[in-house]
Structure formats: C-alpha cells, structure tokens
A = this chain, B = another copy of it.
Amino acid sequence: MTLQRSGRRLGALAVCAAVTLCALYVTKSTAQNANDRQAPAASNASPIYGITIPAGYRDWRLISINHLAGGKLKQLRAQLGNDIAVKAFRDGTLPFPDGTIIAALHWNEAASEDNDKVLATGFPGADLHSFLAGSAVNAQFMVKDSKKYAATGGWGFADFTNGKPGDEALHRTCFPCHAPAKDRDYVFTRYAPTP
C-alpha cells in the first residue's frame, strides 16, 4: 500500500497526541477528505473529550523533539509540557498527575538552500543538509484527568489544524494508538537529556 493509498487511514489515525509518531495530517487534502466523510466538530472543542486549545501552550517548556519520515512525508515535531507535565517527566512520576497537559507541535520539514550553501562552504565534501521547521501541520494535546477520562486511561485527547478540532472519527483513534505505551501511562514521548 502506498502512502497515498493509505491516506484515508492516515487521516483516521491522525490524532494521537504527543505520540512522537502518530498524527500525520499528510496534506490539507487528506484533512479535507476526512471532513467530507463526516461533519466537522460543531465547536472549538475536540469531539468526545471536549478539550479546547490550552492558553499559552507555545510558551511551555520543551520535553523533547523528533523527526518522522516515510515516503514523501517528513515532519519535525516538538513536545512541550505545562508545569505539571515537566515536573512529572523530570521526577519520573508515573502515572502522570491530574492536570498534566502535553502539547505536540508538528511542522512540515523544509529544506534550506541558504543553509546548505553555508554548510557546503564550511564542511566541503560532507554533503550536509539542514531541514527546518517549515509550515505548521497541527497541534495536539493530551490532558490528564483520571476521573473525567477514566474510560481512556485517564487521558483526554485533542487535535487541531489551523485552530479547528478534527472530527469525531479522528479522535476515536487516539486512545487505541496510545495503547502500546500503557506501561508509560500511554505517553510515547520521553524527556530529552539536557545537552
């Protein structure tokens, strides 16, 4: 199955927040196709979980970053945490305390001709290439509330593209996708060491 042919499935699995690997939203057309199949959420909150975009998440502290690649898909991803999240990661607290929010920020990877020229001058023959965080893809959130979200491991999920939440079908895929990380309280991301 090609990446293109699996687009429908990619769209359906695109919500796994802070997963470092899921939530692809390959192209806008994929997201559009998903909307064609099902009415979009009626509010600015995620379906099922009722989560809105947390204020100020762009200012949260860095948990880790990663790179997702396959076929033509290339994304750069950062995971940020609110204060409760960062403390829990640093202390190794499991399960994460109620109030934890993990944000996953995803960008399309963009080549940089300008940077590559500098690299070619500075490091001749090394064939180095720099790939930057380019256009925004989506932002996702995992919110811990052990009572409210008891049916999904204590986590609520939300996926936003251009500030709009994805549909219900998309959000139904979140928890199953995170199931393999059950022994880490359903969180794939690990705290990056401090260089």
A residues engaging B (CB < 8 A)?
1-3, 5-6, 9-10, 13, 20-22, 24, 58-59, 61-62, 64-71, 73, 76-78, 80, 86, 105-107, 109, 112, 114-119, 122-133, 135-139, 160, 177, 180, 188, 190, 192-195
Contacts and interface: CB of A to CB of B under 8 A. Distances in A.
Contacts of A1: 124-126
A140 to B, nearest CB: 9
Nearest to A12: B122
Contacts of A137: 195
A128 B69 contact: yes
**Copies of this protein chain in the complex:** 2
B76 A118 contact: no
Contacts of A131: 66-69
Contacts of A118: 21-22, 177, 180, 188
Contacts of A139: 194-195
Given A21-B128, A132-B20, A67 B62 contact: no
Contact of A70 (B58, B66, B126): B126
A193 B133 CA distance: 8
